[in-house]
Structure 1
Amino acid sequence: MLTRRTLLTSSAAATLAACAGSPFQLGPAVPALRPAPELADQTPPVPREFRAAWVATVANIDWPSRKGLSTAEQQAEMRALLDTAVALKLNAVILQIRSSADAFYDSKLEPWSEYLTGTQGQAPLPFYDPLALWIAEAHARGLELHAWFNPFRARQSTARSEPHVNHLSQSQPQWVKRYGDQLWIDPGEPAAAEHTLAVITDVLQRYAVDGIHIDDYFYPYPVTEPSNAKQEIDFPDEPSWQRYLQGGGTLTRADWRRRNVDQLVQRIHTAIRQSSKPWVRFGISPFGLPKPSLRPAGIAGFSQYDKLYADVELWLEQGWLDYLVPQLYWPMAQTPQAFGVLLNYWRGQNPLQRHVWPGLFTSKVTDKADSWPVEEISGQIQLQRSLAPASGHAHFSMVALRQNRRGLADHLKKTVYTEPALVPATPWLEAAPPPALPPALLMSATSPGAPPDPARPLAWRLGFTPAPVPEQEARRYLVWCRHGERWSLLSGADILIPAEGLNAVVVSALSLCGVEGPRSAYRVG
């Protein structure tokens, strides 16, 4: 686990360092820093907005770009994607690490994904742990890394590799059902649900992820009879259903299926809260339409409540998640799935005030004639901000941003991502904000540039010394600087403050849940 990192780089709102302890320390020829508590309340509000992109590994949608790339090529693509996120001023990536009962990390529970090496069960050569490197590289850039799991899919339709001997389809075939052209883990098999929970808690324990994330694949989307497109095929869970009835179960089959999904959601939430890392957030990205009985007037379409057996409204009511990212994958002008109406609906189903951040279908911007205009995406972000300021959104998926389709990335930089933002705080995960402890801040004279250019103006380089005790190593700090009358937030692992006109520095501690503590202010004399 990283003990020192910045949470925000040029992609985000502040410089944060995982340290705490002694007062400011000054290098040679550095002006004095004098405590000035009256300045603490003069800094602007901290800009908050979750800005994420999904990085899909299944079918090589986002990363790696194709199966069988060398380790060096995989890592180069990884860094390029993260650099794209930084350039856009995003602050989080949601990385798919379990697409089909497989792993994009070193696991003893499930085999390596074929979408990594081309062969299921084969580790990358030369060996490295992709998830560990993604976390390290994301954190070094100030980005959060949320680990994305598919809880029930066992084999996706584009899979070509022979299943590994340790894949569930081979080791536990009684759990796995063929449905259409894919394989699915039966949510009604208690041992299968136990296994999925074990996979998630294994990652939680061993990796420094910022979030655990699942998407909309619970029971599978319905498939139809080849000879009759109007006739849906029922999911083949007869053995588990019969065992439930024989055990005295009284629920209808639909309610039993919903209970199976509810129980897994609740257990994941409980496992995170009871773990050694209770600050890790649990997020779910379901299909975007409400259950039919609660829909606003004019809203119509597919029912995940009846077809995927996902009772999302119940999960919000019970607080079994920390953030919801409903997939609002329709243009704003599409009245039966109106973006603003749906966003307000999900916010209204939220009595415990969990985060609600809409998912945007950014990949609908393509090079084809039926592409969405880039203004559709910026317009949805602007509408989200008007309806729910300081909340956030997520892009599906990173590839459209990385390819800058139709100038999409450039457009977003110029319109909606002109300033960085900090991930919204999650205050219900902790009892109190961090204390007002000033960091061990080092200031030394330098010249910006690589290598430093004596002709360029003088700058102060900020650095942080390690924390004296492990409990403080998780602390992170927000740094404001004032030049003349203008306050600014700086970022990056190498923090350079232009010296000319610098007259104040304000630092505050941020918890792992993003809650800001009291600010410590200093005049530069």
Structure 2
Amino acid sequence: MSAMSRRALLAGAASAGLVACTTGPGLAGSRWVAAPELANLPPPAPREFRAAWVATVANIDWPSRKGLSAAEQQAEVLALLDQAAALKLNAIILQIRTSADALYESALEPWSEYLTGTQGQSPGYDPLALWIAEAHRRGIELHAWFNPFRARQSSATSALAGTHLSQTQPDWVKRYGDQLWIDPGEPGAADHTLAVFMDVLQRYDVDGIHIDDYFYPYPINDSSPSKAEIDFPDQPSWQRYLDGGGMLTRADWRRRNVDDLIERLYNGIRQTKPWVRFGISPFGLPRPDLRPPGITGFSQYHKLYADVERWLAEGWLDYLVPQLYWPIAQRPQAFAPLLEAWHGLNPKGRHVWPGLFTSRITDKADSWQPDEVLSQIALVREQRPGTGHAHFSMVALSQNRKGLADALKAGPYAEPALVPATPWLTDRLPDATVLTVSAAADGQWRLRLRPAARRHAAWLHQDGRWSFRLLTQAETLLPAAGLDAIVVSAINRIGQEGLRAGYALQP
């Protein structure tokens, strides 16, 4: 912006009576005036889904161990969210149902043992409510992550609570290997699982509902020399289906059981809170006949009975996070072709944000190096700019393994980013932001924004260039040095930007 055009702009704004505020002592009588001509000068807001899973099962990420006091658990929540904010992550995917249990106040399922060490024992507060409030205070989305069918994980040690599904509805729960699983073919069990999702959706201000890759369980093998695969023990529900005149094969029937839950869940979210996004994180390989040349490996379509390609084609989800947990150079599961394959199976244009196996960075001999994760982020940006990714899991970032967090802060996460908008969902566009600027102590400007919004995008013109900021509070302080123009806009729940408002400093 030239000096002449700026003077003309300010003169026009002042003559129109668009003075936003007058400063107090300390900044020499300067004042800020509304300058709508500035609104379209900054570039578009940077967009990228930057998420981390926070796994609670087996205390992978949080709490760090069973039996911590409520105060200790809460301190860990705040520390993890502070680290996420410092990294400029914009979403946390928090596991709140690991095994037909709850990390929140629930009348449907017992408290998780991963909190107190005893299933059914209250930690003395509502963890999900705390996570949501503190994430939102930092401008971070909170997506509630459920395991839909697992009923007991192999590392569990607590006695099962009397209210656990295995005790109240034992016919719905099957032992498979060293775990317990809810049978997706039991109509009552499917209804119960859907009720659990809808209960959280109705009572909590979540930004997303998220499920992982455990549908029917990953197959296990017997101890015979042939290592034969053990079939999932759903004979009673399968026989009832046949007795009722069912004509599908057993594999197709199992896939239909999972399909029905996905469709009912997506429709339930749309009817209840249309702005909440539904995300699924499946195993990273598509169906064998839909893979790129040279890609080989496990088929979730045939073994987990997960028809992910159908869910994309039908539009029964808002975002897909395929677990691309292999290094770029691993040709049978090559990262770049798989990323493009999932995008190519996406006729309705849903979000595709790959999951990265960040926790493969360890102190072990087979550890990844940080450059692998940095290169995968760069590859996603190159192939599909403006999309995003998710890290499994937060512990690798919070521990700054091999300097990864530092490298992200200095490199790809140096600038904040907004979550990509989801325009096929419904939410009202925000009103134009009204900005009031006043002088604060120590050479700073105090910005007040109204109406209140969880996130405001802000572009600051300092020393001749625009920089982007994400404002998460109704009031914030900014250094005054070199700052002569501000453009702001509010962001709604589905990531859409409201009208921009421009303001300029008049000496």
Q: Which residue of 1 aligns with 2:390?
A: 394
Partner AA of 1:479 in structure 2:
A
Q: In 2, Cα distance between the equivalents of 1:40 and 1:290? A: 44
Partner AA of 1:446 in structure 2:
A
**Does the 8 A contact of 1:23 with 1:438 survive in 2?**
no
> Post-superposition shift, 1:27?
6.3
Q: Say whether residues 1:247 and 2:244 are aligned partners.
A: yes
Change (3 A) 1:250 1:26: farther
> Post-superposition shift, 1:230?
3.0
2:448 to 427, 442, 463: 463
2:325 to 326, 329, 345: 329
- So what's the TM-score if we normalise by structure 1? 0.89
Q: Which residue of 2 aligns with 1:452?
A: none
Partner AA of 2:465 in structure 1:
R
Of 22-31 and 147-156, the range deviating more from structure 2: 22-31
| Over 6 Å off, 4+ runs | none
Q: In 1, Cα distance between the equivalents of 2:41 and 2:408? A: 30
Change (3 A) 1:27 1:206: farther
> Post-superposition shift, 1:408?
1.7
Change (3 A) 1:23 1:63: farther
Partner AA of 1:443 in structure 2:
V
Which deviations, in whole Å up to 9, do the C-alpha atoms of 1:104-135 show, x marking residues without a partner?
Answer: 001010000000000000001xx210000001
Q: Which residue of 2 aligns with 1:354?
A: 350
Change (3 A) 1:263 1:220: same
**Does the 8 A contact of 2:439 with 2:446 survive in 1?**
yes
**Does the 8 A contact of 1:186 with 1:237 survive in 2?**
yes
Q: Which residue of 1 aligns with 2:478?
A: 497
Q: Provide structure 2 residue ranges, at least 5 long, that are not aligned to the other structure.
A: 1-17
2:433 to 418, 438, 449: 438
**Does the 8 A contact of 1:26 with 1:442 survive in 2?**
no
**Does the 8 A contact of 1:63 with 1:77 survive in 2?**
yes
> Post-superposition shift, 1:23?
9.7
1:199 to 196, 199, 204: 196
Q: Say whether residues 1:113 and 2:108 are aligned partners.
A: no
> Post-superposition shift, 1:224?
0.5
Which deviations, in whole Å up to 9, do the C-alpha atoms of 1:462-517 show, x marking residues without a partner?
Answer: 1235x4xxxxx667532222124222233453521222332222122322111112
Q: In 2, Cα distance between the equivalents of 1:313 and 1:141? A: 35
> Post-superposition shift, 1:31?
4.0
Matching of residues 64-143 of structure 1 within 5 Å? 64-124=63-123, 127-143=124-140
Q: In 1, Cα distance between the equivalents of 2:427 and 2:196? A: 29
Partner AA of 1:422 in structure 2:
L
Q: Which residue of 2 aligns with 1:482?
A: 461
Q: Which residue of 1 aligns with 2:407?
A: 411
Q: Provide structure 1 residue ranges, at least 5 long, that are not aligned to the other structure.
A: 1-21, 448-455, 468-472
Of 25-34 and 245-254, the range deviating more from structure 2: 25-34
Q: In 2, Cα distance between the equivalents of 1:500 and 1:386? A: 35
> Post-superposition shift, 1:28?
4.0
Q: In 1, Cα distance between the equivalents of 2:100 and 2:286? A: 28
SS in 1 for 2:64: coil
Change (3 A) 1:178 1:32: same
> Post-superposition shift, 1:209?
0.6
Q: Say whether residues 1:420 and 2:420 are aligned partners.
A: no
Q: Which residue of 1 aligns with 2:379?
A: 383
Partner AA of 1:489 in structure 2:
F
> Post-superposition shift, 1:521?
1.3
> Post-superposition shift, 1:229?
5.7
**Does the 8 A contact of 1:175 with 1:192 survive in 2?**
yes
Q: Say whether residues 1:220 and 2:217 are aligned partners.
A: yes
SS in 2 for 1:66: coil
Q: In 2, Cα distance between the equivalents of 1:80 and 1:431? A: 32
Change (3 A) 1:84 1:228: farther
Partner AA of 2:282 in structure 1:
P
Q: Which residue of 2 aligns with 1:517?
A: 498
Which deviations, in whole Å up to 9, do the C-alpha atoms of 1:122-157 show, x marking residues without a partner?
Answer: 001xx2100000011111111111000000000000
- What RMSD, in angstroms, separates the aligned Cα atoms of the two structures? 1.7
**Does the 8 A contact of 2:457 with 2:489 survive in 1?**
yes
Change (3 A) 1:479 1:369: same
Which deviations, in whole Å up to 9, do the C-alpha atoms of 1:326-359 show, x marking residues without a partner?
Answer: 0001111110000000000000001111000000
**Does the 8 A contact of 1:180 with 1:223 survive in 2?**
yes
Q: Which residue of 2 aligns with 1:342?
A: 338
SS in 2 for 1:147: strand
Q: In 2, Cα distance between the equivalents of 1:521 and 1:139? A: 26
Q: Which residue of 2 aligns with 1:16?
A: none
2:314 to 313, 318, 323: 318
**Does the 8 A contact of 2:90 with 2:141 survive in 1?**
yes
Q: Which residue of 2 aligns with 1:144?
A: 141
Q: In 2, Cα distance between the equivalents of 1:92 and 1:284? A: 15
Q: Say whether residues 1:232 and 2:229 are aligned partners.
A: yes
**Does the 8 A contact of 1:365 with 1:400 survive in 2?**
yes
Change (3 A) 1:194 1:25: farther
Q: In 1, Cα distance between the equivalents of 2:222 and 2:465? A: 65
Q: Tell me the matched-pair count.
A: 484
> Post-superposition shift, 1:432?
6.7
Q: Which residue of 1 aligns with 2:180?
A: 183
Q: In 1, Cα distance between the equivalents of 2:477 and 2:499? A: 24
Partner AA of 1:502 in structure 2:
L
Q: In 2, Cα distance between the equivalents of 1:309 and 1:23? A: 63
